[in-house]
């Protein structure tokens, strides 16, 4: 990841690649929604750690743990691919 990633960019990534709760319907944008900040703590943590010391796999595991354990959604077939796409997009 190069430089600082703006929060709006992280939200774009979070809602387009991850969105584990499924808050955003297809074709909608997050910026006018009351839940726009829903994933901020997790995305900021992943981005910050990717800048410092994590590899993509660490971020994938973190996002999956948040989704499965913290959010209580369990492991789903889409969990790893979404977390992987999110981590790679943040890292890019």
- The pTM score is 0.91
> In the chain, what are the domain boundaries?
7-26+34-91
Give per-residue pLDDT as tens, 7-58: 999 999 999 999 999 999 988 999 999 999 999 999 999 999 999 999 999 9
Give per-residue pLDDT as tens, 59-85: 999 999 999 999 999 999 999 999 999
DSSP state of 92: -
Other beta carbons less than 10 A from residue 31's beta carbon: 10
Helix 79-91 and helix 40-52, axial crossing angle in degrees, nearest 10: 60
Pair of tokens at residue 67: 């989704």
């Amino acid at each position: 990841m190069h430089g600082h990633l703006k929060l709006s960019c992280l939200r774009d990534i979070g809602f387009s690649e991850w969105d584990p709760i499924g808050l955003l319907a297809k074709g909608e944008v997050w910026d006018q929604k009351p839940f726009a900040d829903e994933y901020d703590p997790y995305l900021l943590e992943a981005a910050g750690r990717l800048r410092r010391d994590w590899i993509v796999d660490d971020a994938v595991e973190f996002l999956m743990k948040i989704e499965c354990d913290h959010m209580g959604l369990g492991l789903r077939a889409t969990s790893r691919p979404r977390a992987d796409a999110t981590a790679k997009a943040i890292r890019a």
